[in-house]
Amino acid sequence: MQKMATAPVGVSGIVARALTLVEKVQGAGQHKVDASHDSFHVLRVLATARRLADEERRRGVAVDETVVDLAAVLHDVDDWKYRAPTDDPSLSHAQQFLEGEKEVTEEMRHAVLEVIRNMGFKEQLSSSGQRDHAVPLRPELAIVQDADRLDAIGAIGVARTFTFSGAKRPGTPLYDPSCPPRTTMTKEEYVSNPNGSAINHFHEKLLKLKDMMNTETGKRMAEKRHAFMLQFLDQFNDEWNGDS
């Protein structure tokens, strides 16, 4: 079973129970995750989401803290990338958990599931390959989406990219100059993920996230992390060509 990081101080009972569920599901069978999507990723997203929520409240935005916390914790518990092809495509674990918690109202459950269903990068890809940059209407979605995307970029993002590539796509090269990154992708192409390279993932997704952030704080945080990735890619290219 994946090691569970220490839960942050101040989490409510329901959030702590959600963390326990995540640990159980992600450490078992077909849903077992690698270090790119483990408990530490969940807690980083939770911590960042809480920071962003605090900043949004200071700006006068009404934010439901429990919805933010639960969506941040449960956002990957039914992740399609770790499902078997025959698995139930619904958010079965998240939905069953929320339905079993007496303190979760129907409105709250709907809000949490709405955030989880709509926060992924692929959800902003259309069948034509165009990206929808519209800011999500629900502030909790804007916050948790930003928090998850911030964990996909910067130094952590670099580490997670190569971890995921090695764990889930064995045989995929670090870089293949003969296989350029795709400049546009449909949702279906992104999910099917034709052969490419780990470096292509930066150009096809990660370098685009800075301009897809929703909150002002998220945008500021993304700038520094984006700059780090550019520096990393420059150094990688120099070393690949024997120039450094």
pTM of the model: 0.89
Q: What is the arithmetic mean of pLDDT over 130-136?
A: 53
Spell out the domains of the chain, with CATH numbers in brackets.
13-240 (1.10.3210.50)
- pLDDT for 123 equals 80
Q: What is the pLDDT of residues 141-161, one digit of tens each?
A: 999 999 999 999 999 999 999
Mean pLDDT of the chain: 87
Return the DSSP state at 214: -
Q: What is the pLDDT of residues 57-72, one digit of tens each?
A: 999 999 999 999 999 9
Query: What are the structure tokens assigned to 181, written together?
Result: 């990154």
Task: Please name the residues in contact with 7: beta carbons below 8 A apart, sequence gap of 6 or more.
Answer: 15, 16, 19, 43
- Judged against a pLDDT cut of 90, whether residue 191 lies above it is answered with no
Q: What is the arithmetic mean of pLDDT over 226-230?
A: 99
